[in-house]
Every structure is written in C-alpha cells, then in structure tokens.
Amino acid sequence: MKRFDYIKSDDPYLVTNSGARIDAGALCEHGQAAVFVALFGNLLSQPDESTRRDTIMPRCVLAQLFGAIHAQILHEEGEAALQAFRDDTDSHVQASLTALQEMRAQARDCCEAGFRTGGSEHTCGRSEAAQ
C-alpha cells in the first residue's frame, strides 16, 4: 500500500456518500469475494459536477486500507479517538444488518425488480410460488 505521505492531493475527488456490495463474481487472489464500492461526489475543481465512481476493491486491499486508517487515528489522535471510530463503525454494522435482514424478509434483495416492487415482481427467475 502506498504511504499517504507520498501521495499528493491534486484536485481530489470529494466523496459525499458511498454504497457497497459484496461481489461474489470478483475474487481476489486469496479467493475472497471482492467488494463493489460506489463513491458519490465531485472533483474539488468541479463542485457542481456530481458523479458516481464505481470501484471493485479486493477484500485484502480493504483490510490494508482500514488497518492504515486505524493506525493513523491511533498514532495521531490516541486510543479514545480510535475507540470512537470503532464504535461508530459498529453502529453502522448494526444499521446495515437490520436493513439487509428486512430486505431479505421482503424478498427485495435478489434483483432490482424485486427491490423496486417490494418483492412482488422479479427478473431474477425467482417465482412467487417459491417464496
């Protein structure tokens, strides 16, 4: 992983929102499913041009990234700041898990049609009789 000290921020992409989904079709060299990460934001030089950047991040790269972030918070801000970040992350785990469980219970997590119709219509081959 590149050390951030050595990376110059030249017109950075300012991320204002994000979404993630485990992509079972994209495996890293360790055989783990990668993560599709969508970033929403704009270039610093183009504040009125919001765009979406789709990325695929191998899980091992994500682990490196999170490790580097945790280390920097610990190094620069101390234990309490790192614990606060971990607590914040855990609360997002719970919120996302609840949303995922609700979507599965409503048969909305298999395809876009299922998602948009509240589980009554599907383009994934799932029939209502199978529910």
Options 5-13, 16-24, 54-62, 119-127: segment touching Zn ion (CB under 5 A): 119-127
**119 binding Zn ion? (CB under 5 A):** no
**110 binding Zn ion? (CB under 5 A):** yes
- By CB under 5 A, name the one of 35, 82, 108, 122 that touches Zn ion: 122
CA distance linking residue 115 with residue 111, whole number of Å: 6
Distance from chain centroid for Cα 73 = 20
Pair 35, 21: CB distance under 8 Å: yes
Options 11-19, 50-58, 61-69, 114-122: segment touching Zn ion (CB under 5 A): 114-122
Query: Could you write out the DSSP letters of every residue in 112-128?
Result: HHHHHTTTS--SSS--G
Site string for Zn ion, 59-88 (x = CB under 5 A): ------------------------------
Cβ-based burial of 98 (10 A; exposed 0-12, middle 13-18, buried ≥19) = exposed
CB of 114 to Zn ion, least distance (A): 3
Question: Any residues with CB less than 8 A from the CB of 59 and at least 6 apart, and which?
Answer: 28, 30, 32, 33, 34, 35
CB of 115 to Zn ion, least distance (A): 8
* Residues lying near Zn ion in the complex (CB under 5 A): 110-111, 114, 122, 124, 126
